[in-house]
Amino acid sequence: MNPINRSLLNLTLATVLSTLAVGTALAQSAAKAEPVSFKDYDANRDGMVSQEEFGALGGSDQTFRKADANSDGMLSIEEFAKIGGARS
């Protein structure tokens, strides 16, 4: 193999390995992301989380019903915190 082909092969290999390393690092940081907060769920900023808002970020209907202690169809910040949600 001539020196130019060897250099191109080394450069290609280095590029592939670098790409894999960056992808792995990004995946690990995404897995360690902070929990979604009450403010994130409260899309309309009315101080309550509706079932629709809760579901929009992946919350299940069953979890919502369990958390809705007073059965008003909305989660207060206190109800949200009781299911492990971050307050901020």
Residue 87 is assigned to a structural domain of this protein? no
Residues 23 and 4 in one domain: yes
Band (pLDDT 50/70/90 cuts) for residue 3 is confident
> Nearest CA to 51 among 38, 36, 61?
61
Question: For all residues of the chain together, what is the average pLDDT?
Answer: 80
Across 32-56, average pLDDT: 89
Question: For residue 56, is pLDDT > 80?
Answer: yes
Q: Please state the rounded mean pLDDT for residues 29-41.
A: 72
Q: Whose structure tokens read 């403010």?
A: 39
Q: Are 53 and 3 in contact (CB under 8 A)?
A: no
For residues 18 and 74, which has the higher predicted lDDT (pLDDT)?
A: 74
- The whole-angstrom separation of Cα 31 and Cα 48 is 27
CATH number at residue 63: 1.10.238.10
Q: Do 27 and 53 belong together in one domain?
A: no
Place of tokens 């299911």: 83
DSSP-based three-state secondary structure for 50: strand
The answer to whether the pTM exceeds 0.85 is no
Same domain, 17 and 49: no
Please check the confidence at residue 78 and state whether its pLDDT lies above 60. yes
Query: Which residue range(s) make up the domain with 22?
Result: 1-33
